[in-house]
Chain A
């Protein structure tokens, strides 16, 4: 039997039972569409997270106060202690002690209400040093950042994020305007360029003041020397771990601690955040893909079911074909190819629906779906494979039918 004829007879059998073929494909269509969607969603989420973290800078070390690890491995006091000081930040900025650090900025934050005329807006005010823009990779949209003089004189100057400026003044070009905090007047010297958002927090709703101003006028924590976070920008991302080790050694020394186990601070690397996030999303993707694969398995069993029904229904046809000279292999191949064509068609339709949903859903779900060509090709191959695997048993049964019994079947 010629291969073309084999394909032709399989194709005709599928076409002459449209409803049954459609039902057979349904399971595969649903399975493949969900695989395409879940893989796309997983990749999309991973991309979102990577971008958010990359926006923060991949050469950044974050030093937080407090770290005690109890016997259960839980960390206590993380981020809330007062063990990091402005002196620590100054020491870390030393090129001798931490040669691989390019810039250091300590941050002290408070939530305050900004007022301008009748409007007011509550935001996080950060007190920091002049190196903040470099460390946090931020640029100025208008005006300039405060300078060393402002820092020395505890000047009442403030730099705003675009969102904050918009909320308070109704526009972003607000350099030279005055706003008040607790009846004290501050001059807006600069507006930061937009940076998007990190997770749920906007990077554009903030106000920045000199650290001295923060300590003198805004901070009500009662510990003027302590800071919330020290950011260290490494000279390059390759030098991140070197900078981290230098910073750790220096801080242990400054705090009079002998071993890293006793550390009263924590140094995080953006990369480790990225790794953690990536691994979470990879696990999620594996889980979702597993569920989708289960749907595919059910689809495959559906193929087998309906192919078995089809073999029973077409017993007479099989008998006739055998009587006319079809060898068992001819019959087996016809059913196998039928199952594979159904898998291929189901897979292609499933991919089309999956891609369609991937285009239609993101605006509704507010999530990114990344369609990878490889995933689509693999999906279709898997669909054909499922047709083949689950078609083997029905095809073998068809091939085994004895022609006399098959012909006699009414």
Chain B
């Protein structure tokens, strides 16, 4: 299986299918149920926002969806692949091929140029240098930073850094872009900028899952799920545009 081909052939099958998802943490003798049975289906091209106060379980949900953690019980099918019981190596591969992360803290490596940062997922996918550079350059151009490819993160504004991170998320053509509070560290101008970028991606057909606690950010999405005490409150709310 290569990372270069988008695996989404069947647009009617869900990209994400969570059934009875439960996650329990053990800290010494104390048990904490972070997710208490979540069912959720996200289809290709959807723009979903997951909202909830801190401690609601939305970070845990984000980790599960991002294959950074595994469920205690229940199942998680990502792009037709059951990732519920994968080992670490298989999870790493699933993250690499299926998921494009955008983090609140950008998480760019300061020792690499913008281009080098965008190339990074392709490095782990084993893509040859020439092809890697070309694809990374295309992704950077797509987020409007084609002219900043040689700059290091420290030479870019916060908004630009987050755009580099978005380019990095797109470069593998993942099944979903998973954005965790992507505007949490940005001023209002950059926030508009980055949210506009996500709108564009959605318009071009990308599947986006946005985790946030800000209602106005969530309002950009087509569907909003509310998490409280590890459960969805009500069904997903469709937002009329």
Q: Which A residues are closer than 8 A to B by beta carbons?
A: 1-2, 4-5, 9, 12-13, 15-16, 316-317, 319-330, 402-404, 407
Residue of A nearest to B66 (CB): A323
Given contacts A324-B101, A404-B68, contact A16 B93 (CB under 8 A): no
Q: Is the CB of A323 within 8 A of B68?
A: yes
Residue of B nearest to A320 (CB): B107
Docked complex Cα distance between A4 and B126 (Å): 10
Chain B residues near A320 (CB, 8 Å)? 107, 109
Q: Is the interface of A mostly helix, strand, loop or mixed?
A: helix
Q: Is the CB of A325 within 8 A of B121?
A: yes
Chain A nearest CB from B106 CB (Å) reads 10
Q: Is the CB of A326 within 8 A of B124?
A: yes
Q: A9, A16, A330, A403: which contacts B68 (Cβ < 8 A)?
A: A403
Residue of B nearest to A406 (CB): B68
Count chain B residues whose beta carbon lies closer than 8 angstroms to a beta carbon of A: 28
B214 interface residue per 8 A CB criterion: no
Q: B69, B111, B124, B125: which contacts A404 (Cβ < 8 A)?
A: B69
Q: Which B residues are closer than 8 A to A by beta carbons?
A: 63, 66, 68-69, 88-89, 92-93, 95-97, 101, 103, 107, 109-112, 120-121, 123-126, 128-129, 168, 172
Residue of A nearest to B171 (CB): A324
Q: Is the CB of B109 within 8 A of A325?
A: no
Q: Is the CB of A328 within 8 A of B93?
A: no
Docked complex Cα distance between A327 and B125 (Å): 10
Q: Is the CB of A324 within 8 A of B168?
A: yes
Chain B nearest CB from A246 CB (Å) reads 79
Given contacts A1-B126, A2-B126, A407-B103, contact A328 B68 (CB under 8 A): no
Given contacts A320-B109, A407-B103, contact A325 B93 (CB under 8 A): yes
13 extra interface residue pairs, beta carbon distance < 8 Å, beyond A319-B107, A327-B92? A2-B128, A12-B111, A321-B120, A323-B95, A324-B120, A324-B124, A325-B92, A327-B88, A330-B92, A402-B69, A403-B68, A407-B103, A407-B107
Docked complex Cα distance between A327 and B96 (Å): 10
Docked complex Cα distance between A5 and B96 (Å): 16
Chain B residues near A330 (CB, 8 Å)? 92, 124
